[in-house]
Amino acid sequence: MAEFTVSLSTQSANPSWGDNAKLSFTESGAVIHLPDDSANERTIQQAARKLDGLSLPGVTLAGEWSKEQQWAFALSFTRARKPASITWANSTDKATLEQEYAALLFTRQLVNDTPEDLSPETLAQRAADWLKSLGKDNVNYTMTVGEELKNEGWVGIYNVGRGSERPPAMLVLDYNPTGNADAPIDAVLVGKGITFDSGGYSIKSSEGMLDMKCDMGGAATVTGALGLAITQGIEKRIQLILCCAENLISGHAYKLGDVLTYKNGVTVEVVNTDAEGRLVLADGLMAATDTGAPLIIDAATLTGAAMVALGSDYHAVFSMDDNAKEQMLNAAKAENERFWALPLEPFHADRCPSAFADTANSRPMKGGGGGGASNAAGFLSRFVKPEGWIHLDLAAAYHGGATAEMPVGATAKGIRTIARMLHDFNA
């Protein structure tokens, strides 16, 4: 079968293709016609979506393409089901693109898999197996499962996951390329791994539940980022903590009005079982803090409030460390990924009051009320040191429906930025 080539042109398409057509076809493939302005990448993405709709088995990028133009094409061309292959343009960026694309494919596949196929233990194991395949002997991990979580005091992950027949799990993975078992840990990544979120007794609507296989998008994103950093040859010691559970309803599920006592002594009243992500992340953040690492990044599809604020185009960034926040935003800019800072101050920790505990896990109103994303970040701040901590609310991690620029499903946006942050962070 002859290869289908895709090339770029700054020339207008023949009028026979329509007024101001951005895509035309030749005997061997297609030509994307670029406007002479900053909308080039958007034009490429829209053309890629149209080409992806042809169900091509693969394409070859021909002629002159910049790295970011190729990446924009890949983001939009790679459909969720049976994605086509891409042969990169011959350029110095080819090896880098192959590394990044492998991480993108792993991340998207993990998020797009059905909740039946991805139990909490399976999520943790697949993440560990992939990273082990990349890091070899530099990767070691432990997994705490089911009742062991309760016995070890990880009350957030345990309680959120105990309503399911498939037990919750906490993965702690160590990537240590230094050869020194006593080397300090340079950074910790913490991911929310809710493999399916029914909302618990604060049950979601059917349409609100449909896409909740994506609620482990934070775990997938930080795993993809660490895998990318490993293939890029990072020499720092990095730990990965995944907080994995299914939030389901049963006679053994946690309930509204329950009070959880965390390892650090903070008591939490459950006023919304659908605000479960912050409950599991609290355990991960405490474990991360115990390492003494100067950089802690947690990532989660945490709140609808972040999507209300930013839509599905940006990831929200929260930090009380201005240096760390600035470095994260600079990393995003360097990687051409959209991150946007939202407010987080010490008072946000008190924005979910409780008469029965130190704090509630939300506010008893739809979406947690005004400023819900900041209030969720404030809750998390009770379980981590503020210096060097960044919380990412991944509003752009998943699309419930295809758009003119993006396919339906997982995006894997953010993996390049987090990987760069791991390389470049300076406390």
* Unique residue bearing structure tokens 């008072």: 347
Single-letter code of the amino acid located at 34 = L
* Closest to 279 in 3D by CA, of 305, 306, 298: 298
Determine the Cα–Cα distance for residues 289 and 282; give it in Å rounded to an integer.
11
As given in the structure block, the two tokens for residue 417 are 């930025």
pLDDT mean across residues, the chain: 96
∠ CA 200-319-268, rounded to 5°:
35
* Unique residue bearing structure tokens 């011959």: 90
pLDDT digits (tens, 9 = 90+) for 313-355: 999 999 999 999 999 999 999 999 999 999 999 999 999 999 9
Determine the Cα–Cα distance for residues 414 and 395; give it in Å rounded to an integer.
11
Please give the pLDDT value at position 116. Answer: 97
Determine the Cα–Cα distance for residues 41 and 361; give it in Å rounded to an integer.
40
Sort 387 into a burial class: Cβ within 10 Å, 0-12 / 13-18 / 19+: middle
Q: Is 402 helix (H, G, I), strand (E, B) or coil?
A: coil
Please give the pLDDT value at position 368. Answer: 82
Please give the pLDDT value at position 39. Answer: 67
* Unique residue bearing structure tokens 């998390």: 380
Looking at 79, 94, 204, 338, which residue is catalytic? Answer: 204
∠ CA 233-237-239, rounded to 5°:
110
The class that CATH gives domain 113-424 is alpha beta
Contact 201, 256 (CB under 8 A): yes
Give the architecture-level CATH label for domain 5-91. Answer: 3-Layer(aba) Sandwich (3.40)
Contact 134, 227 (CB under 8 A): yes
pLDDT digits (tens, 9 = 90+) for 206-220: 999 999 999 999 999
Please give the pLDDT value at position 38. Answer: 66
Determine the Cα–Cα distance for residues 112 and 134; give it in Å rounded to an integer.
22
Single-letter code of the amino acid located at 186 = D
Q: How many residues make up the chain in this entry?
A: 427
Give domain limits for the chain. Answer: 5-91, 113-424
Contact 30, 23 (CB under 8 A): yes
Question: Catalytic: 278?
Answer: yes
Domains 5-91 and 113-424 share a fold: no
pLDDT under 70: residue ranges of the chain:
1, 37-39
* Closest to 396 in 3D by CA, of 344, 342, 322, 340: 340
pLDDT digits (tens, 9 = 90+) for 5-46: 999 999 999 999 998 899 999 999 999 999 876 669 999 999
Looking at 278, 351, 382, 420, which residue is catalytic? Answer: 278
Please give the pLDDT value at position 366. Answer: 79
* Unique residue bearing structure tokens 């599905």: 312
